[in-house]
Amino acid sequence: MKKAIIGKKIGMTQLFDEKGKVIPVTVVEAGPCVVVQKKTRDNDGYESVQLGFGEITEKHLNKPLKGHFAKADVAAKKYLREFRLEDCSALAVGDIIKADTFQVGDKVDVAGKSKGHGYAGTIKRYGFSRLRETHGTGPVGRHIGSMGSSSDPSRIFKGKKLPGHMGVVRTTIKNLEIVKIDNDNNLIAIKGAIPGPKGAVVSIINTAKIVKAKNRFVAISTNPQKKSGRSARG
């Protein structure tokens, strides 16, 4: 069953499993979310649900949003996200979705806006190498250097990696594992890092593709007389 929820990134910490191994996790305040709108195949051509997250006063809403929440007879929400779930028919407008909709061990995809870094150069933005700092390079060690050809084609191709605005783009980290769930406080601990700074709003949904680790075999010699390096006589 496909599940989804909206949450707010709290920050990163670490947990310990039964064997004492450290697990880096990101804590997300997941929900509670309310179903604000429900789309059907007859009216809209597809099935989906719109979830609302975060409290907001009505004075900060425009008239269309005020009417939207009044029609659903739910409290105003700051963030709205739409999800195409497989069991949309099982949900109704006004239903509350909390962190307990997921279970420990579930694989999820987390989507959100990446952390903004402002105007960045090619070294920070794309990992370019520095220029030489000797033989007349001068005070431009972090510049990108020569970019174009000579007489042909005498131009810079579109899409070339250049300095510019870095971050604040929608990013999805796939196939993350839920390590721990606190149902009382609606907190979900997800293994690894997720997009965005602290306080960023993210969407958590069942992963679209589960990646299984490949089995790795180590070749072990079964001949006790065979030695590495020197021969047996040496």
Q: What is the pLDDT of residues 99-135, one digit of tens each?
A: 888 888 889 999 999 999 999 999 999 998 888 878 8
Which residue bears the tokens 């870095």?
166
How far, CA to CA in Å, does 134 sit from each of 141, 142, 144, 147?
9, 13, 16, 20
For strands 22-30 and 164-166, give the pairing: unpaired
Mean pLDDT of 6-14: 93
Mean pLDDT of 85-96: 83
- Residue-level pLDDT at 214: 56
Mean pLDDT of 176-186: 91
Mean pLDDT of 135-164: 81
- Residue-level pLDDT at 212: 64
Domain boundaries, the chain: 118-166
What does pLDDT average to over the chain?
84
